[in-house]
Structure 1
Amino acid sequence: MSEYHILVNREHPLSKDYVPGDLKEACFPFLAEPGDPKRLLRQTACQAAQKLFTRARGQGLCLWGISGYRSYARQEEIFRRRLSQAGAAHAQAYLAPPGCSEHQTGLALDVSSPEISYELEETFAQTSEGRFLTKHAAFYGFILRYPKGKEAITGYAWEPWHIRYVGRPLALYLSFTGLTLEEYLAL
């Protein structure tokens, strides 16, 4: 099994000390300022995302990175703040507790577009960029990690903006079969 097939969720958390050793700053359009840790991805995922964003731009689309790598401490801060603001039901559906976020792997990337003011919301799926992502992400090694209709399996609400690098062969397989990473790893 590839190192990119790591499963991270509430049942399979990462340690507080886990930090990928090959983080690289993204050079594609990103909402975060240069030097912001949100711009970091593992090197292979970063290169694949660069190619994906370049293809989108070549088709006149405008994908933007919103959030890549997130440390355990940063996830803890976000989790506590959003839990107090939005409540437990929202947290259960959308928020990963510290250690349970794929962003800590450096393999996950939240994306958006100017069409929806760079927000992370379900309407992203209906944008030209969202449709492009659904159609092309797998060819660059990414899966739509939390697909619609699979909430009971992934443990999270549908997030059409959240992509996860798993490598091209597995991404194409999961895209073709409609399996989630959880379902694939349980085979």
Structure 2
Amino acid sequence: MNRILVHLLTALCCALMAAGSLATAPPGQALTAIDARYAQLGGAAGRLGAPAGAEFCGLRNGGCQRNYQRGSIVWSPATGAQPSYGAIRQTWLAYGSQNGRFGYPTGPEVCGLRDGGCYQNYQGGSIIWSPTTGARISVGAIRARWASTNFENGALGYPVSNEECSAGTCKQRYQRGLITWTARAGTVLSRDIDVASSSVVVVNKRRPLSPARYAPGPLVGVGGPSLRSDAAQQFTRLLADARASGVAMVPVSGYRSFDTQASLYTSYVNQYGRVTADLISARPGYSEHQTGLAIDIGNSNGACGLQECFAGTPAGAWAAQNAWRYGFIIRYPRGQTSVTGYAYEPWHLRYVGTTISSEMRAHRLPTLEHYMSLPAAPSY
């Protein structure tokens, strides 16, 4: 459910409940909108706690407020009565509360976001919080660009700094990148996906390696094939746990150099033609195997080796259920050829780190293109 719909439903719910509270008030004692909202939120037994003073009015644009043990409820004719508490409230107060750039809250705090996050919308923007990043502001053109990447669920994750402006340039840093704004260039998004240091680099038919003959280091053997050291460490754990579970999984192919990939691709072209070769093999300089972060797996008896039926074998089924626990994803899943450009490969595992593999699983994001909010790459 998108955020706009959430707020519309919340506003309708609050209006109906407030109307019901007014209708049942004792004779001669009319409840204010703040009283009604307080009752709706559980009164003294709720998150706000007991009242800490009387309701007072005369605020900006005809607003009113009442304070409680653990927060407040603020009301204005334009926004209704909205609760305010916790770290998000503290940030709102630091920016001048209703007298500052945010104005009044337009809805309640909404939680249940990715990684346990919460947000609250205001007349002038939003404040978003997560346990690892704290409460951060989100406003203007930079917020709009972040929204275009699917907010905290996209390539950038949560903001880790507030928007800062100086000499005509504004910038805000996120968990995996930076958005910069100037009047001349508008917003510019920079992602932290350096292939030499990141496990989330995306290599596909529209995103070649740079340089084309890139070679990772250091490489570590994993029973024949090699992987970049961080991927190798996790794959060694994965392989040991699979075998401990009675699954005779074996590594088949890991790191491939530019020249090795060129030879493999040429052999496929000669055997199947270029169209089919492009569906089952990357051209040199475009292969995930060249990053040292990808590995093909198989069964020790060779059952369904490098075939779609591998998904139904012990090794294929175990990987589909458990690879994410070790930071690996099935990079080319079923039904995503129009996005990845490759046929379904249940044997092709790609190391992205446990944070990203867990997030992709939790939010049912099938490919790195989806996770990084990148366009589909069906062809070169």
TM-score (norm 1): 0.90
User: Could you say which structure has the higher strand fraction?
Assistant: 2
Q: Deviations over 1:66-112 (max 9, x none)?
A: 00000011111111111111112311211101111000000000001
Instruction: Give the structure with higher Rg (CA).
Output: 2
Structure 1 residue 176 corresponds to structure 2 residue 362: yes
Residue 229 of structure 2: aligned partner? 43
Structure 1 residue 135 corresponds to structure 2 residue 135: no
CA–CA distance in structure 2, aligned partners of residues 57 and 67 of structure 1: 18
CA–CA distance in structure 1, aligned partners of residues 326 and 358 of structure 2: 9
1:184 CA drift (Å) = 1.0
Residue 5 of structure 1: aligned partner? 200
Q: Which amino acid aligns with 1:93?
A: L
Contact 1:146/1:156 (8 A) holds in 2: yes
CA–CA distance in structure 1, aligned partners of residues 243 and 207 of structure 2: 36
Instruction: Give the unaligned 5+ runs of structure 2.
Output: 1-175, 177-192, 375-380
Instruction: Give the unaligned 5+ runs of structure 1.
Output: 31-38
CA–CA distance in structure 2, aligned partners of residues 103 and 175 of structure 1: 22
Contact 2:222/2:232 (8 A) holds in 1: yes
- Which aligned segments of 4 or more residues in structure 1 are displaced greater than 3 angstroms? 115-118
CA–CA distance in structure 2, aligned partners of residues 41 and 92 of structure 1: 24
What SS does structure 2 have at the residue aligned with 1:75?
Answer: helix
Residue 20 of structure 1: aligned partner? 216
Contact 1:116/1:124 (8 A) holds in 2: no
1:115 CA drift (Å) = 4.2
Contact 1:115/1:127 (8 A) holds in 2: no
Residue 80 of structure 1: aligned partner? 266
Contact 1:141/1:169 (8 A) holds in 2: yes
CA–CA distance in structure 2, aligned partners of residues 17 and 78 of structure 1: 15
1:132 CA drift (Å) = 0.5
CA–CA distance in structure 2, aligned partners of residues 127 and 166 of structure 1: 24
Q: Deviations over 1:42-71 (max 9, x none)?
A: 011001011001111111111111000000
CA–CA distance in structure 2, aligned partners of residues 106 and 82 of structure 1: 22
CA–CA distance in structure 1, aligned partners of residues 222 and 246 of structure 2: 20
State the structure with bigger RCO (CA 8 A, min sep 6), 1 or 2.
1
CA–CA distance in structure 2, aligned partners of residues 174 and 116 of structure 1: 30
CA–CA distance in structure 2, aligned partners of residues 137 and 97 of structure 1: 26
Contact 1:141/1:165 (8 A) holds in 2: yes
Q: 1:118 to 1:67 in 2, by over 3 A?
A: farther
Structure 1 residue 158 corresponds to structure 2 residue 354: no
CA–CA distance in structure 1, aligned partners of residues 302 and 310 of structure 2: 7
Q: Which amino acid aligns with 1:12?
A: R
TM-score (norm 2): 0.45
Residue 91 of structure 1: aligned partner? 277
What SS does structure 2 have at the residue aligned with 1:89?
Answer: helix
CA–CA distance in structure 1, aligned partners of residues 362 and 269 of structure 2: 36
1:114 CA drift (Å) = 2.8
Contact 1:4/1:167 (8 A) holds in 2: yes
How many residue pairs match? The answer is 177
Residue 186 of structure 1: aligned partner? 373
CA–CA distance in structure 1, aligned partners of residues 290 and 302 of structure 2: 26
Residue 288 of structure 2: aligned partner? 102
